[in-house]
Amino acid sequence: MAKNSQAVHKAQLLAGTDLTQAELIELAEVREGLFSLGRRKTGEAIALGGYLVRAKAILPEKALGKWVKEACGFTPRTARNYIGVAEHLAPHRDRLEAVGVAPTVLFALVGAKDDAIDRVLSALEAGERLTVKQVKAMVGIVPTPKPKADNALDLGGLAGLRRAAEMKTKADMAEFYGMARSILQAVQKALEPLEKNRGVKKGALCDAVVLDCRHAHDLLNSIAAPMEADYAEHMNWRPAHLPEGSAWRRVQALLRRMGGVDSWPDRTKLVPWLQDEVIPALRFVVHGEPLSDATLTATNQVASGLVSMEAAEPVEAMSELMTIDTVAVEVKAARKPKRKQQKQQPIPPSIIKLTKLLSSGLPTT
């Protein structure tokens, strides 16, 4: 008696609506019946649908969906499929159980006409192994064709723009993750010689990943970075930096750094950089592994240097244009070889004497 009372109380909580005592008892029995069934055999699938039909007769539609989800662990859609099996396929139960139809095939038969169901059952009874797709075709269910890429790009309005953006982002993300995996594998392979006390070949690793890092950096900007105005109004907008201190800002800065050979650490600092910064960041991208606070701090310090460098590039270029004449003169002057000062030679005495005689007007003979 106590057990029944608990079941009824549980039914009341799950139902979430005012029900009579008889209805609560009915729901409790339905729930117990559902737990006693499996869902693999045809007969059990039909019986399961019968229990849900009983619950459907008690609960309103919204309350039924909530009750099914909390009491049975089903989605409302799955519950509707089982209810349809019980309501529409009961006349064919014996034949369905005899051939052992899977629940997914039963769902495909729901709503089909009797002659179509008979064709499917005859084929199964003859020993044919039909897929759900084949069964749907036999009963006249035509799948809704998905819009082709070309057609999707012809759609207008906000919906069309959103569709075009989704297609572009999906393609960019696939390309980005493919490159990230390739870069991670190359770095891991480059570190393998350490196990044999051998050095890491920086040049070979650079050749293997630099271009991919540049392209991955551009793809990440295209996917996630907002656009910002340049310092001059007539200049095109450009991708902005992701929020400082974030893990993806670290990835953005790291890919930029790895895309330039001159930005890599020297050989004495290469291995710690690869192990402590590069590998964790790439594993964050590829495998979703979180980054430690210490690693984030270290990389953000490097990123801040890259930020100033990135932001300063256009200004520096303008400064060079403004002072190009001055710089050219300075470089020319710096490169112009200096004339060596000739050491003054002493004047011979005979020349000095001759000079005096000429100035006094005396004959030189």
In the chain, where are the structural domains located?
A: 1-88, 97-143, 162-322
The model's pTM: 0.46
Q: Residue 49 has what pLDDT? A: 86
Structure tokens at 93: 């139960």
Asked whether residue 101 carries a pLDDT value surpassing 60, the answer given is yes
Instruction: Give bridge partners of residue 227 from the DSSP assignment.
Output: 239
Question: Any alpha helices (H) in 130-264, and if so which ranges?
Answer: 132-138, 149-152, 157-190, 202-224, 247-258
| pLDDT tens, residue by residue, 149-197 | 557 788 889 988 999 999 999 999 999 999 999 999 999 999 999 999 9
72/85 Cα distance (integer angstroms) = 17
Q: Residue 311 has what pLDDT? A: 41
SS3 letters across 49-99: HHHHHHHHHHCCHHHHHHHHHHHHCCCHHHHHHHHHHHHHCHHHHHHHHHH
Structure tokens at 255: 């890919």
Q: What is the mean pLDDT of the chain?
A: 78
CA-nearest of 85, 70, 95 to 39 is: 85
253/311 Cα distance (integer angstroms) = 13
pLDDT band (50, 70, 90) for residue 265 = very high
Asked whether residue 17 carries a pLDDT value surpassing 90, the answer given is no
